[in-house]
Structure 1
Amino acid sequence: MRVVADIPNPHVKITLHSYNGKYILKLEKANLEQIYKIEETEVMGDEGAKALIDEEFIEAVVNRFVEMRDAFVSTVRRNG
């Protein structure tokens, strides 16, 4: 897997990889991560993949991280 870019963002760590005909978009916050796989044919090169990362997408990702954290905290409280 080849790292294409580390994309600066104040809310999450974003790394774009290329592997086996796909772009792998990895977003991390604390101990959680989200991964999106994008066929290389769906975007116009590295810049096309980077262009998918707009403010609306980042807002949805951050909200999903909050939901993920809340779900995990809830299960730890119930079962821990």
Structure 2
Amino acid sequence: MRVVADIPNPHVKITLHSYNGKYLIKLEKANLEQIYKIEETEVNGDEGVLELIDDEFIEAVVNRFVDMRDAFVSTIRRHN
């Protein structure tokens, strides 16, 4: 797996990878991560992938991290 770019963002750590004919957008916050896979043929190179990572996408990702954290905290509480 090749790291294409580390994309600065104040809310999440974003790393763009290339692997096996796909781009992987890896987003991390605390102990959670989300990975989105895109066929290389669906975008116009590295720049095409970077265009997808806009403010609206980041907002949705951050909201999903909140949901993920809430779900995990809830299950921990149920089982303690």
Q: TM over 0.5: same fold?
A: yes
Letter in 1 for 2:78: R
Q: What does residue 15 of structure 1 align with?
A: 15
What RMSD, in angstroms, separates the aligned Cα atoms of the two structures?
0.4
* Cα offset, 1:63, TM superposition: 0.1
The CA distance in 1 between the partners of 2:43 and 2:54, in whole Å, is 15
Count of matched residue pairs: 80
Write out the 4+ residue segments of structure 1 that deviate beyond 2 Å after TM superposition: none
The CA distance in 2 between the partners of 1:24 and 1:53, in whole Å, is 12
Unaligned runs of 5+ in 2: none
The CA distance in 2 between the partners of 1:28 and 1:20, in whole Å, is 22
The alignment partner of 2:14 has SS state of strand
If the length of structure 1 is used for normalisation, what is the TM-score?
0.99
Unaligned runs of 5+ in 1: none
The CA distance in 1 between the partners of 2:49 and 2:59, in whole Å, is 17
